[in-house]
Amino acid sequence: MHQIQLNEQVYQEAQLCAAEAGFGSVDEYVADVLRHDLREETEDFDHLFSPERLAHIDRAAAEIDAGQGLTSEQVDAELAKRRDEWLRQNAR
């Protein structure tokens, strides 16, 4: 059987995670994490792209192509304005 070494901080974090997850030891926890990580495939997100969502994305892309989008500077300015308004309304 092979062994790995962990520095003290990593071991303590793994020990805490193992206990929280109900593992009997750090070895069991690390082996489980590695087993899942090594076999994990890329998650399939195709189910999230319904025809309605794709149509929404297409409309948004067309608006941006037509120059109806906002620059990052405009977005930053709008968010700063909304933040300032919120802070004024919620000041204690």
| pLDDT per residue as tens, the chain (92 positions) | 888 899 999 999 999 999 999 999 999 999 998 888 777 666 778 888 999 999 999 999 999 999 998 889 999 999 999 999 999 999 87
- Report the predicted TM-score, pTM, of the whole model to 2 decimal places: 0.42
Q: Which residues contact 17 (CB under 8 A, 6 or more apart)?
A: 29
Residue 28, C-beta contacts closer than 8 angstroms, at least 6 positions apart: 18
* Domain range summary for the chain, segments of one domain joined by +: 8-39, 50-89
